[in-house]
Amino acid sequence: MQAAPSRAIPRAPDRPLGVARPRWGERAIVASLFLCGLLSVVTTLAIVLSLLQPVLDFFAKVSIGDFFGGRDWAPLFNPPSFGVQPLLLGTLTTTLWALVICIPFGLGSAIYLSEYATPRVRNTLKPILEILAGIPTVVYGFFALTLVSPLLHDIWFFSAKKPDIFNALAAGLVMGIMILPTVASLSEDAMSAVPQGLRAGAFALGGTKLQVSTRVVVPAAISGIIASFVLAISRAVGETMIMLIAAGNNPNFTLDPREGVQTMTAFIGATGIGDVPQGTIGYLTIFAVGATLFAITLVINLIAIRLVRRFREVYE
């Protein structure tokens, strides 16, 4: 060591200023992390590509108008008919009922956990809530079919016509319970991240706890909350097992929650596990429905990204 220990400035390196010594280990780490990121992009592209050919084959045989315009879904029957609207409506109804449960209750639990609960209560409740998210969906499916559906049937007093044993309502509500922890947990994270100064300022202006929570914290965390809603919608649209077990697998063009429906995912699930011969129109139908599902979730996510950007409030 030539330099005296007291000198803070190291000697200039032999290479030009601004060019760092190459750090190969670090580059390897960066490259592998990049590959991790690339994996999801490549997977998405691969899914699109693998859907493309069968979907093109399908629409060579069935017109787009028949597919999206028809109200009779019987692709594997004889003679077949390919109107996808009952499946779209089935997915829509069940998703709506899921949102009816998971948005108010999820947001409510998030507000409670973030603003009202003491740290001790929060640290107990949040893990319990997250256990709900870890229950296999097949269990939720049978929960809907064997408990919720008969219960709805017994307590139904809204109309003379009672819910069927397989109905969109029970399946949707149970799906809402399944998604609830996702909404609660993500919204709670977003609300906890709101700077303490905002709350303090609002309290200083004389706000009550409720006013501070709903008029300051929730708007400040809105981008995270919307993100949690969108994730909830995507999960609801994509949920398969509950729909397969409890929703009835009945391609029924109806918004009536008391009747059985078939969702897009349930059709894919029911048909995909069977012995549909490869290359037949029935086989291609799976891909056509899959592509429709993919397009729907893509659109939901694009809308979500726009919403999140638009309402984001950035606090430094």
Partner 1 sequence: MTGRLVARWRYGALLLAIGLLAAACGGGNNDGGSTGDGETQLSGTINIDGSSTVAPLSEAAAELFQEQNSGVKVTVGTSGTGGGFEKFCAGETDISDASRPIEADETKACASKGIKYEQVQVANDGLTLVVNPQNTWAKCLTVAQLSKIWDKGSKVNNWNQVDPSFPNEPLKLFGAGTDSGTFDYFTNAINGEEGRSRSDYSATEDDNVTVTGVSGTKGGLGYFGLSYLEENQGKVQGIQVDGGGGCVAPSKETVQDGSYKPLSRPLFIYPSDKALERPEVKAFTEFYVNNNQKIAEEALFVPMTDQQGTQAKAKVQKLATG
Q: What are the residues binding partner 1 (CB under 8 A)? A: 72-74, 76-79, 81, 145-146, 149-150, 153, 161, 164-166, 245, 248-252, 260, 270-271, 274-277, 282
Residue 87 or 129: which CB sits closer to partner 1? Answer: 87
Strand partners, 248: 261
Q: How far is the CB of 228 from partner 1 (least distance, A)?
A: 34
Q: Is the backbone peptide bond immediately before 79 cis, with ω within 30 degrees of 0?
A: yes
Q: How far is the CB of 94 from partner 1 (least distance, A)?
A: 15
Q: How far is the CB of 80 from partner 1 (least distance, A)?
A: 8
Residue 179 or 266: which CB sits closer to partner 1? Answer: 266
Backbone torsion region of residue 206, taken as left when φ is above 0, otherwise alpha when ψ lies between -120 and 50, otherwise beta: left
Beta strands in 190-305 (DSSP E): none
Residue 53 or 146: which CB sits closer to partner 1? Answer: 146
CA 210 to mean position of chain CA atoms: 29
Q: How far is the CB of 141 from partner 1 (least distance, A)?
A: 11
- Enter the DSSP assignment of 205: T
Query: In one letter, which amino acid is 284?
Result: L
Q: How far is the CB of 187 from partner 1 (least distance, A)?
A: 36
Instruction: Give the Å distances, CA to CA, from 2 to 7, 10, 11, 285, 301.
Output: 11, 11, 10, 77, 60
Q: How far is the CB of 168 from partner 1 (least distance, A)?
A: 12
Residue 74 or 307: which CB sits closer to partner 1? Answer: 74
Residue 254 or 301: which CB sits closer to partner 1? Answer: 254
- Helix 281-311 × helix 85-111 angle, to 10°: 30
- Enter the DSSP assignment of 261: B
Residue 111 or 261: which CB sits closer to partner 1? Answer: 261
- Count of H helices and E strands in the chain? 14, 2
Provide the 3-class DSSP secondary structure of residue 280: coil
The rounded distance, in Å, linking the Cα atoms of 80 and 282 is 9
Residue 110 or 261: which CB sits closer to partner 1? Answer: 261
Q: How far is the CB of 151 from partner 1 (least distance, A)?
A: 12
Instruction: Give the Å distances, CA to CA, from 235 to 90, 91, 250.
Output: 15, 11, 21
